[in-house]
A and B are shown apart, each in its own frame.
Chain A
């Protein structure tokens, strides 16, 4: 079983829609959780860290569910500029980072 599993999509949504991505992880001892955004042929950039209490940054909301071992990312009022690949990243034990396959999002005018 992969350390981190993520639906690769693609998700094609109209502008203004709300879209949610989920990601599951296998190691219950994982320490930290992140969502990164990656544009084509560019480096991933940190979108937000994910905390158990849930955290929000503008139109983006991230949530961690330790009991079910998944994290989620919700994007409200999608913009064309949100089109990208969203990577779920988990910091496991031994300071090892694990990546999901990425979820491709295309926001359509």
Chain B
């Protein structure tokens, strides 16, 4: 089946630093990639949707200048948390879809646990 690789798995950083998370589709072209955040004991919350070659669409309440998303190729999307603060500590996870409506499924990366000190 389709595989999505996400790294790093864990990041611990000081407040004020920027953190980049990568998400790669390994055996298919991901037309669309989704970025989620999940706080403990809560569901996945969609942050933004990115389509290859175009600007990401951010959900309401998500700061686009703080969470920079780049989807420069059909196999790679990155999320950069700029000037991270402790309240940004969360589990970040990406998923990718082929963009084909028929039998479309989501394939998830393994997630990144971000801890900001």
A-side residues, CB < 8 A to B, are 31-32, 34, 41-46, 49, 87, 89, 91, 95-97, 99-102
Contacts and interface: CB of A to CB of B under 8 A. Distances in A.
Contacts of B46: 97, 99
Interface of B: 6, 32, 34, 42-44, 46, 49, 91, 93, 95, 97, 99, 101, 103-106, 108-111, 113
A49 B44 contact: no
Contact of B101 (A34, A95, A101): A95
19 contacts: A31-B101, A31-B104, A32-B103, A32-B104, A32-B105, A41-B111, A43-B110, A44-B106, A45-B108, A46-B105, A89-B106, A91-B104, A95-B99, A95-B104, A97-B34, A97-B95, A99-B44, A100-B43, A102-B43
A106 B111 CA distance: 23
B97 A95 contact: yes
A101 B39 CA distance: 12
A73 B43 CA distance: 18
B41 to A, nearest CB: 8
Contacts of B103: 32
Given A87-B44, A97-B106, A99-B43, A43 B93 contact: yes
A42 to B, nearest CB: 7
A90 B28 CA distance: 22
B32 to A, nearest CB: 7
B110 A42 contact: yes
A43 B108 contact: yes
